[in-house]
Structure 1
Amino acid sequence: MDCMQHTRHNIAADDCRLKHVNFEVQENHSSHETLGLSNQLLVVRRGKPFKLTLLFRSRAWDPHTENLMLEVWLGDLSERVPVQFFVAWSDCLSWSAQVYPGDLHQQSVTVHLCSPVLTSVALYDLLVHIETNWGRRSYKVGSFVLLCNPWLKEDPVYMPLDVQLQEYVKSDFGLVYMGSNLNVCKRPWSFGQYEPGVLEACLKLLQVSPQHLNDKQRDYIKRVDPVYLCRVACAMVNCNDDLGLVEGRWDGSYTGGVNPTAWTGSADILRSWVSSNCNPVRYGQCWVYASVLCTVMRVLGIPSRVVTVFNSAHDTNGNLQIEEIYSSKGEKCEKLGLSKDSIWNFHVWVECWMRRPDLGPGFDGWQVVDPTPQEKSAGIFCCGPCPVVAIQRGCLSVPYDTSFIYASVDADVVRLIVRDGLVVGRTVDTQWVGQLIYTKSIASDIPENLTWAYKSKRRGNPAINLQQNIMSKSQTLLKAARSHPDILSNPLQGETRMFSSLEVSLNIDRVPSAGESICVCVTLTNRANCHRVLKEHVNAQLKQYDSSPQESFWKSQQELHVQPGEVLTLHHVISPCKYESVLGGEDIVNVAVVIKDMRTKERVLATEEFNISSPQIIIEVEGGDRIQMRKECIVHVSFTNKFTKTLCGAVLTVEGSGLLKGKQQTRLMLLQPGQKIEKKVSIMASSPGTKLLMATFSHNNSLSIISRGFHTVSVMTEFY
């Protein structure tokens, strides 16, 4: 980099003059594990030396008569770093600049500059000063980016294993798990940290944060701390109270933006935000927020991964209970103002890896950071970082937001059966919330089960005595019901017996694929010593993952006679024609049964929720999944109609960043049952690495995409 003379103070004509500084970008990027993060800037990691070669004009630097001084600037903060001949590296507590033996040449010198291990993550300016007894000549020589260093043991984000660093820092491809705990689906995501402009966008995110705009110097100083960086970045990924990245929408109307399900990577979102002068990108939902935050964290050097909680609770009132309302016929209903609590079939957040000296021993490791704007934390829409181990141990007072996150994975569900404004049945389910917690495994597409990292195997609410848990929650619910007399005019009437003699369970025999019947099994156990006459109501509804169900698409009822001690198994079959006309690509099915004792009027509820598997899209690469860079390859993509009906306006779409230009589609006016729609595409990769092919299928009968498929290919250089 050519030097720009900054200041000059009365130096003789034959003094040492700086001509050029070589930032040794390729070597430094390789040494600092930052290759590909930027083509414009030097990107290095804190606490590790990096090389600068200083070239002089007329003669070499004379260390006997001239002092060589580097000066590092961050905003209005600066530190002067004298260049010394190598003796031994310091303890990484201060900036140092050293010349190794043999690095001083006739017209150049190589300097190794090293920051303290706890240095702020930011873009720095670098000056070089040549000083003598008669004056000083100064040069502004350029800028460099300093990131966290998870390869360095002294850094709070240090991660010990290379395979972990590869997966949680360097990998630019991931999977997001979605659907339901009975039928987990995976969606690919390109984190895109090596895409042009992504590093710069992440740095800009910090620069336009309220913390920086309100007090630049304080913000720069606090950026040494990964906890602080997490909270700033988490708040900035949503746009609810700042110039943040993504605007959320869950109402199904995405006019003026992009349907959240259409996003496949972070790079487009980050670049769109920058190019729009920090206007939020529309629209996102939880997996978009989390995946973008994961990109930002990996860019900043903080190991991170995307985590999905199945049956995640949003506990607005902090009582560790979520209420759900069902009709006496098994229809799941709106909450009717009882509370704003909810349960999402899945919710996605981020875990970041770091030590937590601010919390004392025992809370290091993975920390939950959730950028989806749900509740405010210290006045802003962010959540975490919260130690996963604090959630498992039930240490609800540990910052940040531990009680809220604990409820997300371990709240109890109180299901009320309501008829004519009266509570006529009540069950408490301590197992529903947080049934499954997944993340992508290291170097594998197989999910890693994190459930017991969050949940103690000795389950229970840490705020209540475990032996009195259910009874205490029942009393809490009665208090809540009494506060809503307009909805539950007599909540005490028909209170469910805590130990019923009638046991009911509902199970799905096998999670069906689209075009297959739904097989429901209801099991009744009569533990009473008398004959019982029962009324069974079974009901099925479609719902979105984050909302209450729609109207029922299937119902059944019958009268049953059960002998004392008898176990009765009932099978119900819901044919595809009952749900195909209303099925959307992202829908969940809620099935519930209410059993009523005709004599005692006791009612017992059992329920299950699951997603129907989408028909598979087949993607096959001729010659295998290892392809050569800049060599054309043929890919065959196909979809077979597994539905029982003809699909109108069928569209098969194929895309692949770094493999295809734009989207390629094939269309059929009518796709008969069992008929196949196919597309042959030619791909060519211009860069090595893992690339992603995406395919979607839609038709006019549905407003949403019916099926998604993806396929990864490994791109080798020309000489592999």
Structure 2
Amino acid sequence: MATLRVTGSDLQISTNRVEHHTNSYQSKDLIVRRGYPFSANVTFNQSVTNEDQMQFYARLVTEDKGASLLENPFVNSSKTPINGWGVLREATVSNSVRLTFYTPSNAVIGRYSLELDINGERTNVGAFILLFNCWASDDIVYLSDEAQRQEYLLSEFGIIFMGEPSNPQHVPWDYGQFQDNILDICLSLMDSTINYRRNPSEDVRRRNDPSYLCRVLSAIVNDRDDGGVIQGNWSEDYSGGTDPKAWTGSARILRSWYPQKSPVKYGQCWVFAGVLCTVSRALGLPCRIITNFSSAHDTNNNLIIETYYKVTGEPSDRGGDSIWNFHCWNESWFRRSDLDAKYSGWQIWDSTPQEKSDGMFQLGPTSQFAIKEGDVDKKYDTSFLYAEVNADVLVFIEQNDGSITKGSTDTVSIGPLICTKAVGMNSMNNVTQEYKHREGTPEERQVYSKARSLTSGAVGFVALSSAGETATAPNSDPVVSGKIIINGTPTVGDDINATLFLKNLTLANKNVTANVNASAIVYNKRVRRTVFSDSVAVQLGPNEEKPVALQILYSQYENSLTTDKMIQVCSVCQVEGWGELYVEANITLQNPPMEIKALGPAVLGTPLQLEVTFTNPLSMPVADCVLTAEGSGVTHVIHKSIGVLEPAQTISVTIDTMPYMSGTKQLLIIFTADKFHMIKNFTTIEIAEG
């Protein structure tokens, strides 16, 4: 009798992918989720008998295609296997055998070769990619709510919040996790980490654990240690690369990195978060982007941010801590196998390179619950994350003679708003109370004290800097209070009007000298240039409050404005006989509006035109005008040069697209010019089947 051999196989890719929620991937591969069965037909040159010894294997395939690092035999079974590698022979018709394959819900994710050993001879039957499975209750990434699965795993569109907590900007982002070749690149990322290069076998065996993968992927998405995906740049000089605000999605960045694996220039926090979210969702791990406004960067593990200002109101270079106007990171949903059950749920991870952890620029995963309860001794990097959302702020004033005096202590300004995109809507979901107890409550102060006690004496802990330790403190509680209010919502091109309110808190007259400074800043509060300064003498009667009008002209900030469009207004108020009071306000200037509308119904595979309308609101011409369009399922990147817009001129530009995926999709538009930087908008398009 002839030797039994395989003559063909049918992995039933279309059917399996629908059942595994992977039919959106623009790929011809069999993509399945662990813990769910998939079916296949294998055809032989002759009938299969009971005497034929057949053993199927799943062999993990890594990018370097070296020796097998992991191989799992499918146990032959006559009944449904329970959470293990198994194969069930369903039926035999002539020379064809119908099979059902089972994978465990804790299997290593990645690309596998499906192989069959017949009487000692091994044959490749096909290949499949195995992902995490948030539909399987036994998988530690299980997410019970279907609407959240749709949002945090299957949606290719997101909104990232930037600017100020009082008026957050909604910035669209195209994740594109299902676009052609993106999943392949994400698998390649896992084979590019330092951990894989140091110990491939150990690394591969740990790829079943989202805690492990979050940590190593947070490192590889930045380029600081391992030639990762994105090179960060906060200098405002983006020569030799792309302005971080010019990116509209992750796919172009990942394709620029692969296959040469050279870092892509440049990114900032929302770019790192956007790409990491794409990688997470592509691999089957539910993920969302979080924005923390007034985000602290604590460099000495004491949960205190020291800020220094000159007596003139200018920010001082002294001190290593900082407060960013906002910072973006990622959260993924899974059970923590390395911590108590209460620490499961949303886990924070961050690829923006800030501080080293275990010798590398990586962060997380950090339990959101641990942050809220001040359990900063839990893995990983919890004290750093806690400080980002709830550190106290100490203000110090640098006198003209170089001496330092202590100003105010602020316990509420860090993390006033922590938010993410709402499920199924293009609005904001405020998650501040998921991170901390309400400011001003006894619970919040108790948790802060607990966290401080746990960090005291820990690695890197410094109680205060030497300057802070020796600063002279006022001899009484504050006798004057102050605040700066921005009038209205200024747009680029407007004069900025603000009011400094000073209030006497005593029954005695008070003389105050208010030194005001306004600077154009980057979103991490690095000063680019001073645009306004003034000094005003104010006399306050008992319990009197007085307003001081401030105005910053467009001509003063026009040529100094950073791409973040932020102005920081600071005032050091010298109170005669007491000391200094510090107040500040931050302004993110709004962009003028841009409208987008479809010029007809959207149908799969049918040309669709969209019209973009913009008016130049300035009294001067605007040059170098360019439109960029991008949107997964709608169109790949389109650039259109417009030239010059005269004052008050309105333009309408037509964008030609060819939708290539049905369903709810978004088209993102960026308008950029010499006077306006990265005006962004999007429109939602319902694409019907052809």
TM-score, length of structure 1 as denominator length: 0.88
- In the TM superposition, residue 53 of structure 1 has moved relative to its aligned partner by 0.4
- In the TM superposition, residue 460 of structure 1 has moved relative to its aligned partner by 3.0
In 1, Cα distance between equivalents of 2:524 and 2:445:
25
Alpha-carbon deviations, 1:389-428, whole Å to 9, x = none? 1000000100000000001111122222222212245111
2:485 aligned residue: 507
Give the partner amino acid of 2:168: V
**361, 364, 372: which one aligns with 1:381:** 361
Give the partner amino acid of 1:27: T
**Alignment root-mean-square deviation, CA:** 2.4
In 1, Cα distance between equivalents of 2:310 and 2:581:
12
In 2, Cα distance between equivalents of 1:585 and 1:511:
18
Q: Which is greater in Rg?
A: 1
Please state whether the residue corresponding to 1:656 is helix, strand or coil: strand
Give the partner amino acid of 1:622: L
Please state whether the residue corresponding to 1:558 is helix, strand or coil: strand
Alpha-carbon deviations, 1:664-716, whole Å to 9, x = none? 435354521x332332333332332444433333333x4x6252222232222
1:615 aligned residue: 592
1:447-526 matched pairs, under 5 angstroms: 447-457=428-438, 458-460=443-445, 462=447, 464=449, 480-482=465-467, 491-492=471-472, 495-497=473-475, 499-526=477-504
Please state whether the residue corresponding to 1:396 is helix, strand or coil: coil
In 2, Cα distance between equivalents of 1:547 and 1:501:
29
1:292 aligned residue: 275
Give the partner amino acid of 2:57: E
Identify the range of structure 1 (166-175 vs 252-261) with the bigger mean alpha-carbon deviation. 252-261
1:215 to 1:481, Cα distance in 2 relative to 1, 3 A: closer
Conserved? CA contact 2:222–2:352, under 8 Å: yes
- In the TM superposition, residue 654 of structure 1 has moved relative to its aligned partner by 3.6
Conserved? CA contact 2:604–2:660, under 8 Å: yes
- In the TM superposition, residue 498 of structure 1 has moved relative to its aligned partner by 5.3
1:241 to 1:627, Cα distance in 2 relative to 1, 3 A: same
- Work out whether 1:404 is the aligned partner of 2:387: no
In 2, Cα distance between equivalents of 1:691 and 1:527:
56
In 1, Cα distance between equivalents of 2:666 and 2:13:
29
Conserved? CA contact 2:528–2:562, under 8 Å: no
- Work out whether 1:46 is the aligned partner of 2:34: yes
1:564-579 matched pairs, under 5 angstroms: 564-579=542-557
**150, 154, 165: which one aligns with 2:149:** 165
1:7-156 matched pairs, under 5 angstroms: 12-13=1-2, 15-37=3-25, 39-57=27-45, 59-62=46-49, 64-74=50-60, 75-85=68-78, 87=79, 89-92=80-83, 94-100=84-90, 103-131=91-119, 136-156=120-140
- In the TM superposition, residue 558 of structure 1 has moved relative to its aligned partner by 2.5
Alpha-carbon deviations, 1:354-382, whole Å to 9, x = none? 00121012101000001111111122211
2:458 aligned residue: none
1:627 to 1:306, Cα distance in 2 relative to 1, 3 A: same
Please state whether the residue corresponding to 1:199 is helix, strand or coil: helix
Conserved? CA contact 1:654–1:693, under 8 Å: no
1:497 to 1:29, Cα distance in 2 relative to 1, 3 A: farther
Conserved? CA contact 2:335–2:341, under 8 Å: no
In 1, Cα distance between equivalents of 2:208 and 2:532:
58
- In the TM superposition, residue 186 of structure 1 has moved relative to its aligned partner by 1.8
Identify the range of structure 1 (395-404 vs 586-595) with the bigger mean alpha-carbon deviation. 586-595
Conserved? CA contact 1:504–1:525, under 8 Å: yes
Long gaps (5+) in structure 2: 61-67, 454-460
Conserved? CA contact 1:650–1:697, under 8 Å: no
- In the TM superposition, residue 592 of structure 1 has moved relative to its aligned partner by 1.9
Alpha-carbon deviations, 1:156-187, whole Å to 9, x = none? 00000111111111111111111121221122
In 1, Cα distance between equivalents of 2:35 and 2:589:
51
Conserved? CA contact 1:634–1:683, under 8 Å: yes
In 2, Cα distance between equivalents of 1:379 and 1:318:
16
- Work out whether 1:302 is the aligned partner of 2:289: no
- In the TM superposition, residue 256 of structure 1 has moved relative to its aligned partner by 2.0
- In the TM superposition, residue 608 of structure 1 has moved relative to its aligned partner by 1.2
In 1, Cα distance between equivalents of 2:384 and 2:94:
64
- In the TM superposition, residue 552 of structure 1 has moved relative to its aligned partner by 2.5
Please state whether the residue corresponding to 2:582 is helix, strand or coil: strand
- In the TM superposition, residue 217 of structure 1 has moved relative to its aligned partner by 1.8
Please state whether the residue corresponding to 1:90 is helix, strand or coil: coil
Give the partner amino acid of 2:685: V
- Work out whether 1:656 is the aligned partner of 2:656: no
1:267 aligned residue: 251
**168, 182, 201: which one aligns with 1:184:** 168
Alpha-carbon deviations, 1:442-480, whole Å to 9, x = none? 111101111111112233374637999xxxxxxx99952
In 2, Cα distance between equivalents of 1:226 and 1:342:
31
1:710 aligned residue: 682
1:463 to 1:515, Cα distance in 2 relative to 1, 3 A: closer
1:561 to 1:382, Cα distance in 2 relative to 1, 3 A: same
Please state whether the residue corresponding to 2:542 is helix, strand or coil: coil
- In the TM superposition, residue 145 of structure 1 has moved relative to its aligned partner by 1.2
Identify the range of structure 1 (211-220 vs 684-693) with the bigger mean alpha-carbon deviation. 684-693
Please state whether the residue corresponding to 1:663 is helix, strand or coil: strand
Conserved? CA contact 1:597–1:603, under 8 Å: yes
- In the TM superposition, residue 596 of structure 1 has moved relative to its aligned partner by 2.1
Long gaps (5+) in structure 1: 1-11, 469-475, 485-489
1:634 aligned residue: 609
2:456 aligned residue: none
- Work out whether 1:646 is the aligned partner of 2:637: no
Give the partner amino acid of 2:163: G
Alpha-carbon deviations, 1:48-96, whole Å to 9, x = none? 1111101122x3222x3334321222324323324333x3x2331x311
In 2, Cα distance between equivalents of 1:305 and 1:113:
32
- In the TM superposition, residue 515 of structure 1 has moved relative to its aligned partner by 3.4
1:497 to 1:51, Cα distance in 2 relative to 1, 3 A: farther
Give the partner amino acid of 2:52: E
Give the partner amino acid of 2:284: G
1:81 to 1:650, Cα distance in 2 relative to 1, 3 A: closer
1:465 to 1:566, Cα distance in 2 relative to 1, 3 A: farther
In 2, Cα distance between equivalents of 1:216 and 1:477:
38
1:695 aligned residue: 669
2:660 aligned residue: 686
- In the TM superposition, residue 530 of structure 1 has moved relative to its aligned partner by 1.6
In 2, Cα distance between equivalents of 1:566 and 1:662:
59
Please state whether the residue corresponding to 2:130 is helix, strand or coil: strand
Conserved? CA contact 1:617–1:695, under 8 Å: no
Conserved? CA contact 1:367–1:387, under 8 Å: yes
